[in-house]
Amino acid sequence: MRKFLFTCLLVGLSIGLNAQYSNINISIAGLTCSQCSKSVEMQLKKLKFVTHVNMDLKATTANITTRNQVDFYALAKAVSNAGFSVKNITAMLHLEKMVAQNEQCYLYQDNSFWILKAPTSKLITVQFIGKAFGNSASNKDYSICQASNQYIVMPL
Amino acid sequence: MPSIQPIYRNAFIGFFLVTITSYILKAQELYPLTEPASTLPKNVLGIRIFSENYRDKPYIRTMQGLRFMYGITKNWTLYTTSIFSNHHGEKFPLEFPFHNTPERGVKYPYKYNGQHFYTKYRLLSIDKKNEHFRIALYGEGTIVKTTHHESEPNLLMGDNSGIGGGTIITYLKNKWAISGTAGYIKSFGITNITPDPIPALPDIPIRVEYGDAYTFSLSGGYLLFPREYESYDQTNINLYIELTGKRFGAGSVDMFKGTDLEYRLLDSNYPDAFRKGFFIDISPSIQAIIKSNLRIDASLTLPLLGITYAKQYPLITLGMQYYFYL
């Protein structure tokens, strides 16, 4: 039993230590009741890469814990499928665990991140930019930073 | 006809109650009797059981609906409701509609009336901090076999077959929330029988057509408890006031339908219940939401302007609803 628990602890720690994203926070617009918040939580929990959802009913935000393969567009779509809108999505990016294409473009698995201001550290908190994330996308072309899911982010 | 002064006074009181309730107090839009412009979340299956009851001495008229709801997409919701009631006889009464219409104090069998279908499509949704504005379109249809006695059509409660549709607008800002519906019902008639006044003679086939109707509603809600949302386990207690109204046309009756003797009854002799009409009802309600899912409603419906002949006041409507997240 002790060996089993120790193994679980090691696996858990290793997942945490290897995480490319942490502190993923979704701020949701239009929520007016606890049943509404529950609907959003249930839609988020359906996503395979989501391991835990912590809803703050007062602030109408959702703090998400995930596995490594995160689809931020799917997070926004889950909020939309519940009948509400994303106000913003923020996350902490662990850049040292990603592949740097240049000083502003970082890649991990299916995701690419174009960071609008060159980061000054390898651990940054960013806000996602784009219509899906509750704000206007920049008109510039960031196709040099390519992947299946392309994100534009602004360091906070 | 009611006198003019009470009409305007009652209308003002009703409108005032709905708007001031929504404005001053913390808003809620989970109305027991009407639909908001919001749709079900995608892939959610909802079940609702509701029951409308009123005294028709010496009996209680009761109607039950068993509804299944499904969110096809975030914008598109479907309902189907099975309707059961003891509102209607197997055939029309003797000398319909001249004698004893609406027919009171008569025992009718409790039976399955038919099916109501409803679809809602959310056209527009603008969500901001502490504010949202939504517009939806709805369509509905009912297939029933019921000998409804009044010209007023009603699809949801299964009084007659027909189709309908309309618009729902819901607006919430800070503590102010209001929702309104404007719709139309196109009723379908029914061919049935009425006993011949001479008992030895066979029943008379008749064709009854009902009026078409414009429908409207205005609803406001108040979150009584909790003062602050902290947990899904907190029981929510909500209070609502809803105005529901209808303007409808007169019905018509064709006797000896389908025979050489067929003729239309003169509408100048129709009773009030079979003529065109207009009314607005007011319904205060209380609602509990348990563990952010199970909803229990209780509503009392009273006349505000004019009356409906299809029911008697006060109406008591109870409802229970639960979502399954698939």
- What's the pLDDT tens digit per position in B57-90? 999 999 999 999 999 999 999 999 999 999 988 8
Whether residue B128 is predicted with pLDDT greater than 80 in this model: the reply is no
Across chain A, mean pLDDT equals 85
Instruction: Please report the pLDDT score of residue A67 as a whole number.
Output: 87
Instruction: Please report the pLDDT score of residue B131 as a whole number.
Output: 74
Residue A98 distance to chain B (closest CA, Å): 34
Whether residue A81 is predicted with pLDDT greater than 90 in this model: the reply is yes
| Alpha-carbon span A76 to A135, nearest angstrom | 12
Instruction: Please report the pLDDT score of residue B20 as a whole number.
Output: 55
Q: Which of A39, A50, A85, A133 to mutate to test the interface with B (most CBs of B within 10 A)?
A: A39
| pLDDT bracket for residue B11 (50, 70, 90) | low
What burial class does residue B6 get, using C-beta atoms within 10 Å of its C-beta: 0-12 exposed, 13-18 middle, 19+ buried? exposed
In sequence order, what DSSP letters do the residues of B103-169 get, joined into one string? --S-----EEEEEEEEEEEEEEEEEETTEEEEEEEEEEEEEE-----SSS--TTTTSS-EEEEEEEE
Instruction: Please report the pLDDT score of residue B14 as a whole number.
Output: 65
Across chain B, mean pLDDT equals 89
Contacts of B295 in chain A (CB under 8 A): 35
Contacts of B73 in chain A (CB under 8 A): 81
Prediction pTM value: 0.86
Tell me whether residues B40 and A83 touch, CB distance under 8 A: yes
Tell me whether residues B132 and A33 touch, CB distance under 8 A: no
| pLDDT bracket for residue A14 (50, 70, 90) | very low
Instruction: Please report the pLDDT score of residue B24 as a whole number.
Output: 44
Neighbours of B51 (CB within 10 A): 15
Question: pLDDT for B178-199, tens place per residue?
Answer: 899 999 999 999 999 999 989 8
Whether residue B212 is predicted with pLDDT greater than 80 in this model: the reply is yes
Mean pLDDT in residue range A131-155:
82
Tell me whether residues A81 and B41 touch, CB distance under 8 A: yes
Contacts of B40 in chain A (CB under 8 A): 83
Q: What ipTM does this complex have? A: 0.76
Instruction: Please report the pLDDT score of residue B35 as a whole number.
Output: 93
> Who among A32, A42, A55 is closest to B325 (CB)?
A42
Tell me whether residues B232 and A38 touch, CB distance under 8 A: yes
Instruction: Please report the pLDDT score of residue B219 as a whole number.
Output: 94
